[in-house]
Structure 1
Amino acid sequence: MPAHAQDANTPRYRVELPSPALSGIPMNVTVEALAPAEPAEDAVVLRIGDGRYPLEFDGQGKARVGDVTFPTGSPEVQVLVGETAVTFATSEGAAVATSANADVIPGWLSILPPIVAIGLALLTRRVIPSLLAGVWIGGWFVAELSVGGLWTGLLDVIDTWVLRALVPADGDTGHMSIMLFTMLIGGMVGIIYKNGGTPGIVERITGWANTRRRGEISACAVGTGVFFDDYASMLVTGNAMRPITDAVRVSREKLAYIVDTTSAPVATLLLVTTWIGFQVGLIGDATKGLEGYTQSPYGTFLQALPYMYYPILAVLFMWAICITGRDFGPMAKAESRAASGPISAQAEEKGESGDEFAPKEGIPHRAVNAVVPILVLLGVTIAALFITGSGDNVMDIVGSADSFSALLWGSLLSVIVAGILTVGQGLLSLGETVEAWLIGVKAVLEVLVILTLAWALSDLTQALSTATYLASLLGEALSPALLPTIIFLLAAAISFAIGTSWGTMGILLPLAVPLAWTILAQNDMAGPVGMPILYATVAAVLGGAVWGDHTSPISDTTVLSSATSHCDVVDHTNTQLPYGLVVGVAAVVLGLLPAGYGVPWWIGMLVAMAVLLAVIYVVGRPIEEPRIEPAEKPATGGGARHSTAR
């Protein structure tokens, strides 16, 4: 596709190279023609090192080349028209030349930043410096793999990666929305503690939830009930149930596990949640170009639901753990410790203080002052989902809704209502109400820092093509029967490493679904006989993404569930991970693997649940109910601020 003659300083093409590229890993490169097109006389070729890639331009003047393999070092890049090298640029405003050198690093380096961050967090029990180290190392690899690049990577931590996490280049306001409604809800929680509303709820509910088992069941019910959005579920369940579970000596680790398990695993399953539109949209994009595939995206999602073994089993396992009152591993130790004395006293021994959340002395404890703002939060959010969404049925409306705006509206109005109730009844002055709101905001500052660094690390993993490297480990020859299992493991690894389920779904579904369809066609199974494997592959991506998000110490759901439960992030990870591993193994070995060989999904589900119940009764042990002295009052102060200090 030759172009009109141009000045030597004017680029004829723009070449979009991955920066850095991974050596030996197939990657994508886009070439855009910047000059008016003429009839093709000479072939246009992209040369990278010794590799030559013919370019075929579309109507917009773009050519996309897949499976470009970069050699090690700094290979030369050229655009050849015939055999003549022509001018091009690698980005807007870049220097124009007839050749450039690609920045290439070994593929295994792309997984090092998340490994460092996760490893240091588990080793040092300090999340913020661990995330900073991961971002620094990733920034080093992106800048330049040299001593100078190490210094540049350090400077880029704040002015590039943290700033980009808060203000993305594409203008997406999602991260800032999460920070704003987390601050608003944190402030609302501060008000309803100080005005006596939360202590009033505790005093009422502890009439029934007066044992550990009942306290845990109540938390499960609240978390499952707030099913329409994972963030709303975590923020409401943790803050509302913490003083109640504290009163009956349920460990903060157990509450964080319940809060985490009733968020993403529930939201990915139920048909009226803020996740549905995103998931169905991805499925539609992934199946759109499949030759001979006629199932609708929503129909594909419904067919895949029975094969979502991990989310389903995770929720059932959580209910079974709480109903039986049995625990094992680090969670059993945490529960035994919690039974030994008041939770608030144990928090103070860790250097935490709950005085800031103590209600004002001399005011009545009225549950209505907490219940009404929480109902406003839920009611306005649900109403806003219907206002901002569109479609012919409830599932379409909620799935297409602007969930961030809905949560912002709900959290803002809940703060206003809490303030009006507080000042109107003379419980606190206007100044005291504002101070209570600020106390609540201050309590979530640490989680906001952790979230920002986790987002920065996630952006770096995209820049380093971490998911592409992990996906390349699949290999080319796969048995159709093993495909769902392998895809689940890959999705779980990617999600655990980058700390986001939505990011993993967005990366892997467009790769996994066409791969499954191609493999089925190669084995003469691209029809009714092979559809269960395709559905199981879709479910494997969704379920594996939820597993990684559920168990990773750098995921936003792990951080938020820890924060709202006032539980150390590392403690939450250490106690939840064994449960996630047990359920994950059951989902793969007893669910996806047999399904790949034609075993009906319901048989695998029943067998897996039976095995998980056996694990609970054989490995788990009942935690003795604590003897709570009559003089011991419930922890109406709500416990300590979230802290990673030990």
Structure 2
Amino acid sequence: MERKMKIGIIVAVSIIALFALSLWISSLPANENNAIRFGILTLLPPLVAIGLAFITKETILSLFLGVFVGEFMLCVNDLNIISTIINAFLQLGAQVISCMADPWNAGIILQCLLIGGVIQLITKMGGAKALADSFAKRANTPRKAQLFTWLLGLCVFFDDYANSLIVGPIMRPVMDKLKVSREKLAFVVDATAAPVAGIAIISTWIGLEISLIAAGFKSVGATNVTGFGIFLQTIPYRFYNIFILIFIVISALTLYEFGPMKKAEQEARNRTEIQKVSEAPGFDEVKPVEGIKLSVWNAIIPIATLIIGALMAFYWSGYTAILGGEDQALITLMKTAPLSFKGIFEALSASDASVALFQAALLASIVAIVMAVGEQILSIEDAISEWIGGMKTIVITGVILLLAWSLGGVIGEIGTADYLVGVLSGSIPLFIVPTLVFVLGALISFATGTAYGTMSILMPLAIPLGWAVSTGDMSFTIVCTSGVLTGAIFGDHCSPISDTTILSSMGTSCNHINHVQTQIYYAVFVACIAIFVGYIPAAIGVPWFVCIPVGIVVMFVGLRILGEKVDFEEVDDATS
């Protein structure tokens, strides 16, 4: 009875809110420019999405209702709420179908699904475990073990989930033997998951990132750029991603720790027995087929096929696009020096990433299936079944993508970005904008536990804002774009409800709360350096190749000041 009462109250409040919204919009003067007509109401759809994400922690529900509210606003003609709700729902469905029917969007979703299938096949063939074991055998000190974990995390660059579920379980016994805390292992695994996948040019992330970038620059009329080209240019300005990866190396080499991590490391060094039982619940990850001979080639060949195939597809796509275009300078470059550095860069920048990645993922899928069947690890039926099973783990990504694209479309129709730019362009100091974008992205991502949803909500607003306040300065807008991507990853890295944070805890069998409490100190420390040594200087024109070395020095000095060295005793036969 109590639950029914709560549902009734929610429905009643929602109807009243929609009626009030209808009344407000009906009283507004007609204007062809929705940004002028709706005014402050243009902020309502993204605020609904953000606010509900904070409250419910449900990204899909929040994005869905954000899209619905936007469509409701566009459908208001009178005070007939029932008619408006029905029309809004129909328009929402049409918006989602339109996004799905777009060739670019379809290619992005398909490549994500196929990469998920490849990952599962590699795991079932034992390739992922064999590759990880080859690293683990060479680690015989806490320094080496942490560095090998870091290196292995870089190797599993194509997916953050795969990173957490492959690196953690393989390195955990080695770390236990060497008396390195589970908390430190979980931190290294987590810090090489999303931060690596977010900047890798071949990953399950790049599709979303490129599509959002392309849509954002298209909305400001920058038609002479490509999403992939801008993506490449943002990489040097991904200050948080770069600094957190370098911080792992500095901490591993110096053995300096601070905050709760220092206590965890000290306790681990002082324990007399290897930790046998974890406080964290186990995770039933995909395991290799029993009884097979493990071989690193079962991982190297499919991954190499994916990487090399994607690079070739990227180049060919861009090469043919340039030759079919009207830029005579680029056409001449492709005819005279197609394999020069500039030629390769221009070809990659002009490529259609959705098609190229789909082609590469399809080729890698075929190679992986053929290997599994040819080595008699799986039958053809089982191989295809496992491939499809891997796709199922990525389906949620496709749902988020469709709703994200739909939200971007509806807030574009109601003029949210135009209104926001008009209000803020004269009231925010120019050098603060990238930092503001970074912090806002971090807050949204921390509250929702998803970098995907945060990028989807914030990117359609950040690019027009950066473009407007800088009067079309491409370099400044690229820094703002980077702020969205890295801010989302920083917040996701700290969030206790983030999927990668949870998977990192489970994969390393580390108590989840302990992982969050120890990691957040390091993440915030690095984020502060990213802001004060990265985004603020970059916003006033300091080159990235100056910001990054200075940031490394500041991290080293800061760690020595805040931290304390946690020594260790040599452990023989660490990997036995």
TM-score by length of 1: 0.59
Aligned residue type for 1:616: L
Aligned residue type for 2:424: L
Structure 1 residue 546 corresponds to structure 2 residue 480: no
- Structure 1 residues 513 and 462, CA gap change in structure 2 (3 angstroms): closer
CA contact (8 A) 2:104 2:355 kept: no
CA contact (8 A) 1:310 1:584 kept: yes
CA contact (8 A) 1:74 1:103 kept: no
Q: How does 1:481-560 map to 2 (within 5 A)?
A: 482-490=429-437, 492-493=439-440, 497=444, 499=453, 501=455, 507-513=461-467, 515-517=469-471, 537-553=476-492
CA contact (8 A) 1:389 1:398 kept: yes
Q: How does 1:319-358 map to 2 (within 5 A)?
A: 319-324=249-254, 346=278, 350=281, 352-354=283-285, 357-358=286-287
Flag the structure with larger Rg. 1
Aligned residue type for 1:367: V
2:371 alignment counterpart: 421
Match 1:257 to one of 191, 194, 199: 191
Which whole-Å CA distance do the structure 1 matches of 2:359 and 2:575 have between them?
A: 39
1:168 aligns to what SS in structure 2? Answer: helix
Q: How does 1:1-40 map to 2 (within 5 A)?
A: none
CA contact (8 A) 1:536 1:592 kept: no
Could you report, residue by residue, the CA deviation over 1:108-131 in whole angstroms, capped at 9, with x for unpaired residues?
Answer: 64453243344236xxxxx5x454
Higher strand share: 1
CA contact (8 A) 2:199 2:235 kept: no
RMSD (Å) for aligned C-alpha atoms: 5.7
User: How big is the shift at 1:598?
Assistant: 8.2
Structure 1 residue 615 corresponds to structure 2 residue 558: yes
User: How big is the shift at 1:606?
Assistant: 4.7
Match 1:196 to one of 117, 121, 126: 126
Give the number of aligned pairs: 503
Which whole-Å CA distance do the structure 2 matches of 1:449 and 1:298 have between them?
A: 22
Aligned residue type for 2:289: K
Could you report, residue by residue, the CA deviation over 1:288-328 in whole angstroms, capped at 9, with x for unpaired residues?
Answer: 89xxxxxxx99999999877755554543354345445566
CA contact (8 A) 2:238 2:482 kept: yes
Which whole-Å CA distance do the structure 2 matches of 1:405 and 1:299 have between them?
A: 15
- Structure 1 residues 319 and 173, CA gap change in structure 2 (3 angstroms): farther
Could you report, residue by residue, the CA deviation over 1:480-500 in whole angstroms, capped at 9, with x for unpaired residues?
Answer: xx4122343146526865846
The structure, 1 or 2, with the larger RCO (C-alpha pairs under 8 Å, 6+ apart) is: 2
Aligned residue type for 2:558: V
- Structure 1 residues 540 and 383, CA gap change in structure 2 (3 angstroms): closer
- Structure 1 residues 580 and 462, CA gap change in structure 2 (3 angstroms): farther
Match 1:388 to one of 317, 320, 334: 317
Could you report, residue by residue, the CA deviation over 1:223-265 in whole angstroms, capped at 9, with x for unpaired residues?
Answer: 65788xxxx4647755664543344356455423212212334
1:362 aligns to what SS in structure 2? Answer: coil
Could you report, residue by residue, the CA deviation over 1:183-230 in whole angstroms, capped at 9, with x for unpaired residues?
Answer: 323333333333333332233221114556545434544665788xxx
Aligned residue type for 1:361: E
1:389 aligns to what SS in structure 2? Answer: helix
User: How big is the shift at 1:426?
Assistant: 2.3
Give the gaps of 5 or more residues in structure 2.
Answer: 1-17, 176-181, 323-333, 335-342, 445-451
Q: How does 1:24-63 map to 2 (within 5 A)?
A: none
1:208 alignment counterpart: 138
Which whole-Å CA distance do the structure 2 matches of 1:204 and 1:489 have between them?
A: 43
Structure 1 residue 399 corresponds to structure 2 residue 333: no
Which whole-Å CA distance do the structure 2 matches of 1:400 and 1:365 have between them?
A: 40
Match 2:54 to one of 111, 119, 124: 119
- Structure 1 residues 363 and 76, CA gap change in structure 2 (3 angstroms): closer
2:246 alignment counterpart: 316
CA contact (8 A) 2:163 2:193 kept: yes
Could you report, residue by residue, the CA deviation over 1:329-353 in whole angstroms, capped at 9, with x for unpaired residues?
Answer: 6877998999999999759x53632
CA contact (8 A) 1:190 1:437 kept: yes
- Structure 1 residues 168 and 77, CA gap change in structure 2 (3 angstroms): same
User: How big is the shift at 1:394?
Assistant: 0.9
Which whole-Å CA distance do the structure 2 matches of 1:326 and 1:352 have between them?
A: 31
Q: How does 1:223-302 map to 2 (within 5 A)?
A: 232=158, 234=160, 241-249=167-175, 251-252=185-186, 254-265=188-199
Which whole-Å CA distance do the structure 2 matches of 1:113 and 1:624 have between them?
A: 50
CA contact (8 A) 1:192 1:418 kept: yes
Which whole-Å CA distance do the structure 2 matches of 1:473 and 1:367 have between them?
A: 56
2:98 aligns to what SS in structure 1? Answer: coil
Which whole-Å CA distance do the structure 1 matches of 2:493 and 2:64 have between them?
A: 12
Higher alpha-carbon deviation: 200-209 or 579-588: 579-588
Aligned residue type for 2:358: L
2:424 aligns to what SS in structure 1? Answer: coil
CA contact (8 A) 1:447 1:563 kept: no
- Structure 1 residues 606 and 279, CA gap change in structure 2 (3 angstroms): same
User: How big is the shift at 1:143?
Assistant: 1.7
- Structure 1 residues 135 and 329, CA gap change in structure 2 (3 angstroms): farther
2:10 alignment counterpart: none
1:200 aligns to what SS in structure 2? Answer: helix
- Structure 1 residues 380 and 134, CA gap change in structure 2 (3 angstroms): closer
TM-score by length of 2: 0.65
Give the gaps of 5 or more residues in structure 1.
Answer: 1-19, 24-70, 80-87, 92-100, 122-126, 290-296, 519-533, 634-646
Structure 1 residue 368 corresponds to structure 2 residue 292: no
- Structure 1 residues 306 and 205, CA gap change in structure 2 (3 angstroms): closer
Which whole-Å CA distance do the structure 2 matches of 1:261 and 1:319 have between them?
A: 14
Could you report, residue by residue, the CA deviation over 1:371-399 in whole angstroms, capped at 9, with x for unpaired residues?
Answer: 21122121211111112112541111111
1:396 aligns to what SS in structure 2? Answer: helix
- Structure 1 residues 352 and 155, CA gap change in structure 2 (3 angstroms): farther
CA contact (8 A) 1:310 1:544 kept: no
Aligned residue type for 1:199: K
Aligned residue type for 1:136: L
Which whole-Å CA distance do the structure 2 matches of 1:345 and 1:464 have between them?
A: 55
Aligned residue type for 1:120: I
1:364 aligns to what SS in structure 2? Answer: coil
Aligned residue type for 1:583: V
Aligned residue type for 2:525: V
- Structure 1 residues 300 and 384, CA gap change in structure 2 (3 angstroms): closer
Which whole-Å CA distance do the structure 2 matches of 1:448 and 1:302 have between them?
A: 23
User: How big is the shift at 1:573?
Assistant: 8.4
Aligned residue type for 2:481: L
Aligned residue type for 2:373: V
User: How big is the shift at 1:105?
Assistant: 6.1
Match 1:135 to one of 35, 59, 64: 64
- Structure 1 residues 450 and 477, CA gap change in structure 2 (3 angstroms): closer
CA contact (8 A) 2:240 2:490 kept: no
Higher helix share: 2
Which whole-Å CA distance do the structure 2 matches of 1:197 and 1:600 have between them?
A: 41
Which whole-Å CA distance do the structure 2 matches of 1:351 and 1:277 have between them?
A: 36
User: How big is the shift at 1:136?
Assistant: 2.6
2:377 aligns to what SS in structure 1? Answer: coil
CA contact (8 A) 1:330 1:574 kept: yes
